[in-house]
Amino acid sequence: MHNQNEPKTVADSAVEMRYLVMPNDTNPQNSIFGGVVMSWIDMAAAMVAERHSNRPVVTVHVGDISFKAPIRIGDHVLIQASINYVGKTSMLVGVKVIAENPFTGITRHTTTAYLTFVALDDIGRPIQTRGLIPETDEEKRRFESGKKRIEDMKKSKTK
Ligand SMILES: CC(C)(COP(=O)(O)OP(=O)(O)OC[C@H]1O[C@@H](n2cnc3c(N)ncnc32)[C@H](O)[C@@H]1OP(=O)(O)O)[C@@H](O)C(=O)NCCC(=O)NCCS
Question: pLDDT value at position 58?
Answer: 97
Q: Is the shortest distance between the CB of 155 and ligand 1 below 6 Å?
A: no
Measured in angstroms, how far is the CA atom of residue 28 from the centroid of ligand 1? 36
Q: Is the confidence at residue 159, as pLDDT, over 70?
A: no
pLDDT in tens, 10-21: 999 999 999 999
Measured in angstroms, how far is the CA atom of residue 35 from the centroid of ligand 1? 22
Atom of ligand 1 nearest to the CA of 129: 34
Q: How many CA atoms lie within 13 A of 8 on its CB side?
A: 25
* b/e code 110-123 from CB counts within 10 Å (16+ = b): bbbbbbbbbbbeee
Measured in angstroms, how far is the CA atom of residue 117 from the centroid of ligand 1? 7
The band of 2, judged by pLDDT with boundaries at 50, 70 and 90, is low
- Strand pairing partners for 100? 76, 107
Domains within the chain, CATH numbers bracketed: 8-158 (3.10.129.10)
- Rounded-to-integer distance, Cα 114 and Cα 131, Å: 19
Q: Is the dihedral of CA 94, 100, 105, 108 positive or negative?
A: negative
